[in-house]
Amino acid sequence: MDVQTLTYLIVGFTFALYIGIAIWSRAGSTKEFYVAGGGVHPVLNGMATAADWMSAASFISLAGIVSFVGYDGSVYLMGWTGGYVLLALCMAPYLRKFGKFTVPDFIGDRYYSQAARTVAVVCAIFICFTYIAGQMRGVGVVFSRFLEVDVDTGVYIGMAVVFFYAVLGGMKGITYTQVAQYCVLIFAFMVPAIFISVMMTGHIIPQIGFGAELVDAAGNGTGEFLLDKLDGLSTELGFSQYTEGSKSMVDVFFITGALMFGTAGLPHVIVRFFTVPKVKDARVSAGWALVFIAIMYTTIPALSAFSRVNMIETINGPEMTGTPYEQSPEWIKNWEKTGLITWEDKDDNGLIYYANGPENEMNIDRDIIVLATPEIANLPAWVIALVAAGGLAAALSTSAGLLLVISTSVSHDLLKKNFMPDISDKKELMYARIAAAAGIVMAGYFGINPPGFVAAVVAIAFGLAASSLFPAIIMGIFSKTVNKEGAIAGMVTGLLFTAAYIVYFKFVNPSANNADNWLFGVSPEGIGLLGMVINFGVAFAVSKVTTAVPQDVVDMVESIRFPKGSGEAQDH
């Protein structure tokens, strides 16, 4: 059976599974739509959280970044995993104790201000739309190769699937769908990693194979270690050494920090801690999610290195002198059809050649690496189809979580809490579904017209979260002196500063996007950390010169410092 037929079968089966779960667990109330009724088992919620958090950027794009840039890609690994630990330890139990199931709801009540709530809604929607653009782009990339449609059509198909189970099922449908999606994506990621590790190093555990000696076809050691070979290939072809970074330490620090604090401020992950019955369950759920996340994140460096070696050798041939185009591997010709790989015969010798510099003839989109890895390594067709299903699971699971944040921000935080306080439960649910549908249309537009490759777009979303929502949440939990004026001024200043910096270098003047022009040498991907510092500074400064926090709010902050009790999600 060929790859395309297997892909239709496996992807079709997984889609039928997701839609079936959505119908089975469809939401009948706002509580089920927003927080799945608050009754999800901690282990299942840990799986759903992991799927929600490990987006297309993690599955499709992160290994591509690490594969292409080596050591410099470690900032994404450190930032995203570190941020989840920060979220689990410093924020989840306290927010769960507070009992408000959306970030704007928490900020509105903690800072006793409808204006603060509205600013938080704007921040949350802004972040989610930026983030979801990367997910929809990932869906388009997967479909463009494996279902042989163009990227735009792939985005439309993804929109239709997400619309069905997110709008129908709400958080209840999304949660159980994400459990299934985690199982699909982790299996799809680990199977090729194990296959290739055994083929290249003889080790069944990819993490061990990453630092191991390479073996020949007979399984005998070659005397050369994987990373040594990769360093040698990289320098021979004009690239930087794979195990050495080219970014400045300042930029590495700022990007890691922006990703870390941005992770802790992501509204679609925070809401996950309200879908379990008790505060203790939220902590247990966070621990399980970290285990499930670590399985993939410790495998990514190994898969990236395996893919890089295989890719270079299959393009340039064993002598690194190039391969006749007519004899080039099938995977190159397959991906050429999508436009995500292009070849220009600069010296008219009919050889394809991949290097760094003017002699390079191959333009390879970083987002294809994980999806192309099974083909590059000549793995069975069913593995190739499985990876396609895994990539779609990763993109769709996060898209659904983000759309739920958008819909709850509009229906609950804007309409019910601001403009329509007497709205019925049924009407609120209807507006939530309308908002989710509108969100899908907007997400599809950004998926078709993305501002960059998947992980870069997602990194921008994390920077916006770090500079706007994270400080307001942390100060709301741990400070009794920050008032509504301080919180609003901090969020607005942090968001505007970060967004303006990113827009300038990414859209207004992209030719100036280099270290010579960056403020303090900080790239747009890392500027969110500086925006966060500005947010904190402005918030504390404004709070000092304005009205003190009311005593009842001070007492409320004291009470959530001790996360005991159930803290059931409320909407009153």
* Distance (Å, whole) CA 455 – CA 79: 13
pLDDT band of 566, cuts 50, 70, 90: very low
Cβ contact 316:237 at 8 Å: yes
What single-letter amino acid sits at 262?
G
Q: Which of 565 and 305 is assigned the larger pLDDT?
A: 305
What's this model's pTM, rounded to 2 decimal places? Answer: 0.79
570: DSSP letter: B
- Residue 454 has, within 13 A of its CA and on its CB side, a CA count of 33
Which tens digit of pLDDT belongs to each residue from 367-389? 788 888 888 888 888 888 888 88
Given a cut of 50, whether residue 37 has pLDDT beyond it is no
Q: Do the beta carbons of residue 88 and residue 286 sit within 8 Å?
A: yes
Q: Coil, strand or helix: which one is 362? A: strand
Report phi then psi at 297, rounded to 5.
-70, -25
User: What is the predicted pLDDT for the residue at 569?
Assistant: 47
Model pLDDT, residue 568 = 46
- Residue closest to 471 by CA, chosen among 450, 493, 444, 446: 493
Q: Please name the residues in contact with 334: beta carbons below 8 A apart, sequence gap of 6 or more.
A: 145, 375
Q: Which residue has 């996060």 as its token pair?
A: 398
Write down the domain spans for the chain: 3-219+236-306+379-560
Cα 566 from Cα 235, distance rounded (Å): 57
In the predicted model, is pLDDT for residue 460 greater than 60? yes
Q: Which residues of 375-389 are buried (b: 16+ CB within 10 A; e: fewer)?
A: bbbebebbbbbbbbb
pLDDT band at 556 (very low <50, low <70, confident <90, very high): confident
Q: How many C-beta neighbours within 10 Å does residue 554 have?
A: 13
Assigned CATH topology for domain 3-219+236-306+379-560: Sodium/glucose cotransporter (1.20.1730)
539 touches 486 (CB < 8 A)? yes
pLDDT above 90 (res 532): yes
Least trusted range by pLDDT, from 11-15, 382-386, 392-396: 392-396
Residue with tokens 């609003």: 488
Q: Which two tokens stand for residue 217?
A: 């076809």
Answer for the pair 235, 242: CB distance below 8 angstroms, yes or no.
no
pLDDT-based confidence at 205, cuts 50/70/90?
Answer: very high
